[in-house]
Amino acid sequence: MALRASKRRPLVAQSEIRSMSIECARVGGINLAQGVCDLPVPQPVVRGAAEAMERGQNIYTRFDGRAELRRAIAARQQRDTGLEADPEIQVVVSAGATGAFYSACLALLDEGDEVVVFEPYYGYHIVTLAALGIKPVFVTLAPPSWEFCAADLERVVTERTRAIILNTPANPSGKVFSREELALVADFAQAHDLFVFTDEIYENFVFDGREHIAPATLPGMARRTVTISGLSKVFAITGWRIGYAVCDPEWALAIGHFSDLVYVCAPAPLQLGAARGLDELGPDYYRGVAEDHEQKRDLFCATLGEIGLVPHVPQGAYYTLADISRLPGDTAKARAMHLLERTGVACVPGTAFFRGDAGQTLGRFCFAKEMPILEDAMGRLRKLES
């Protein structure tokens, strides 16, 4: 028998986000494809990690993370949502929200299960499910306000449905689910006895006076909700790999054991840096970052509008999906490549977030860049006018 890769190998290809980032580096362009914020890491976070390294706190942590971080995460949740969690048995620190989500899928779902996913979706969610032999079933959100109704959910449910994924604020649409929408999801999850896996990595970035509502706070949702989030985005530490799941102790233990199996632990001193940040940074910090993103959203979306790449103005997170149909090319990839070659600005082809052809006219831009870089990007995009 010849050596070969696994049968699941073809399911996991390089993401469009990574491939556009490579193309961008090739032309020395500005990378608005990747979802990284290049704001400085807050000082308490840096100091906390550096001091932990110097103190020699560099060894494996408990399978579910350092006590300091688990306590800080539980305190964050209590402060922001009012939900209490016991940091000893309900909080699992993992390798980013990505590690927490993968571990949750491994721990709580089986091959052949079906999971409801809103479209447009975050590609990693879909690929994770695919790699595990779990079938995503899609509820398509209708632009411009990305709405859905109870019937849309009922239409896709079968006896194999075990969970629903809720990404709020959402990547790439920027949708912030309202309380009424979350109530629809809660009723649906209870009626069909489903897990709700949330992805709240952008929880601090909500605009125009909106409120982020944690799905676990809705009545009857506490036991079935696995709340997934992390510090990658709000502390601008995407490379540190610090995320977590908070949930019922039974699920937390299972998720923790799978996270241990795959990752052993998140980097020990970096966990302590994240804990220090959570302990020491106050509401002003979080408000400041959100306002900064909101201001950049307004500037960047206005520029896109001026040059005829009409944007969907996001309610939260730090992306905009823009209509790139006026650019030459038959596909979103061809249009995104044209934009990159012509202006030196990279975006992600919309097809990374939709099935079929729905994304062919769209590109996703990340606007969480330092102002001089964003201004440079906007100046380059204006070249399209000439």
Residues lying near ligand PLP in the complex (CB under 6 A) are found at: 35, 96-98, 122, 167, 171, 199, 201, 230, 232, 238, 243
If the CB atoms of residues 141 and 327 are measured against ligand PLP, the closer one turns out to be 141
Q: How far is CA 13 from CA 90, 341, 352, in A?
A: 33, 24, 12
CA angle 265, 85, 81 (to 5 degrees): 110
If the CB atoms of residues 103 and 343 are measured against ligand PLP, the closer one turns out to be 103
Minimum distance of ligand PLP from residue 8's CB (angstroms)? 21
Minimum distance of ligand PLP from residue 12's CB (angstroms)? 16
If the CB atoms of residues 122 and 343 are measured against ligand PLP, the closer one turns out to be 122
Minimum distance of ligand PLP from residue 4's CB (angstroms)? 30
If the CB atoms of residues 321 and 327 are measured against ligand PLP, the closer one turns out to be 321
CA angle 131, 137, 142 (to 5 degrees): 125
**Closest CA relative to residue 124, chosen from 248, 12, 208:** 12
d(Cα 360, Cα 304) in Å, to the nearest integer? Answer: 18
d(Cα 317, Cα 261) in Å, to the nearest integer? Answer: 31
**Closest CA relative to residue 80, chosen from 278, 314, 295, 243:** 278
Q: Cβ distance 200 to 230 under 8 Å?
A: no
d(Cα 52, Cα 49) in Å, to the nearest integer? Answer: 5
What is the side-by-side order of every strand in the sheet holding 114-119?
A: 91-94, 243-246, 225-230, 195-199, 161-167, 114-119, 135-140
Minimum distance of ligand PLP from residue 168's CB (angstroms)? 9
Q: How many CB atoms lie within 10 A of CB 209?
A: 6
Minimum distance of ligand PLP from residue 54's CB (angstroms)? 26
If the CB atoms of residues 96 and 269 are measured against ligand PLP, the closer one turns out to be 96
Minimum distance of ligand PLP from residue 188's CB (angstroms)? 21
Minimum distance of ligand PLP from residue 272's CB (angstroms)? 17
**Closest CA relative to residue 102, chosen from 239, 217, 256:** 256
If the CB atoms of residues 188 and 244 are measured against ligand PLP, the closer one turns out to be 244
Minimum distance of ligand PLP from residue 166's CB (angstroms)? 11
If the CB atoms of residues 18 and 383 are measured against ligand PLP, the closer one turns out to be 18
If the CB atoms of residues 18 and 160 are measured against ligand PLP, the closer one turns out to be 18
Q: Cβ distance 119 to 138 under 8 Å?
A: yes
Please name the amino acid found at residue 200. Answer: E
d(Cα 126, Cα 22) in Å, to the nearest integer? Answer: 22
Minimum distance of ligand PLP from residue 382's CB (angstroms)? 27
Q: How far is CA 80 from CA 71, 106, 129, 147, 224, in A?
A: 14, 28, 30, 26, 20
**Closest CA relative to residue 205, chosen from 241, 170, 239:** 170
If the CB atoms of residues 103 and 238 are measured against ligand PLP, the closer one turns out to be 238
Residue nearest to ligand PLP (CB): 96
